[in-house]
Structure 1
C-alpha cells in the first residue's frame, strides 16, 4: 500500500531524490504545492526548529504526514554563519550570486576557509506528532574565492572538497547525492523509518 507524504517544499530536485529513496518504504512523495500549501515561516535560529515548523505547517494544512528539510552552509571562521540564513545571506531578494560575493568578501581576511554543509530532515505523522523523526547530515569542505563547475546551485561552485580535488558544482548529480549532507540525512531518515 502506498502512503502519500507531503514534502514541505516545491523543489523538483529534492522531490525526485526523496521519491527515489522513500518509494521502497511505500511512500509517494508529493510537493506541498500540489495541495496549495504556501511556504511556512522560518523564524528560528536553528535548522531543526525551522524544519519542524515547515513539516508541522504542511501536515496541518493537508492532514497528511509531512517531510521537511532545512539546510545551509556553516563557515567556521564566521562562527557558523551564514547557517540558517544561507539562502538570504546577502538580503532580499534571494540571490546566489550576491550570497557568494558576500561570503567570499567576509572570508578574505581569514586564513581558515573551512566550512560544512549541514542538513536536518524532520518527518511528522501529523501536525501535532509528539515524536517527530529527525535525521541530519554534514559535509565538510572549504570555501574558495574562485568558483568552478556548473552543476548544483547556491554555494556549490565555491564549496571545495579537498578529498575530491574539486568543487561540489563539478560533481555529477549522482556523486553529489551519494556524498552530500542531504543524501546522508535522507539515508539516516530512511533507516529510522524502517
Structure 2
C-alpha cells in the first residue's frame, strides 16, 4: 500500500493533504522500523550478554578444572618426589643389608673355623680318654702299637719310643707334671 501511494504521488500531482498524509504514514513507518530496529538490536545485545555470561561460566568452569589439574599435578609431583625419596632409602637399606650379610658371612666363617678347632680338640681329647681307659682297663704295661697315637700329645713328646713300658711312661709323665693314666 505504501509503495502504491508513493508511485501514485510521483506519477500524479499530489495535493497538500495527500503529501501530509503520506508524510504522516512515512513517520509512522520510520518510527515502527526504528522501534523494531532498537528492539532487534536490544534483543541481539541481550543474546550477546547471555552468550557472554555462558562463555564466562564456561571459562570459570575451565579455570576451576585447570586449577584442579594444577593441584593434581602438584600432588603428583609431590608423590613422585616422595617415591624417589623412598627409592633412595630402599637403595640405602639394601646396601646396608648387603653389608650386614657380608659381615654375618665373615662372622659365620670365623665361628665355623672356631667350631672346627673345638671339634678337633674334642676329638684329640676323646682319643686321649679312650687311650687312658684302654690302658687302665687292659692293664697293659706297654703301649700297643695301634693305641700309641692316642696317648696325650704332652706325654707323646716325652716318650722315647714305642717300646717304653707303661710304668716307664707313667714315670716320665709324672716327672713332667702330667698324668698319663691311673
Give the structure-1-normalised TM-score.
0.15
Considering fraction of residues, name the structure with more helix: 2
Greater strand percent: which structure? 1
TM-score relative to the length of structure 2 = 0.16
Q: Which has the higher contact order (CA 8 A, sep 6+)?
A: 1
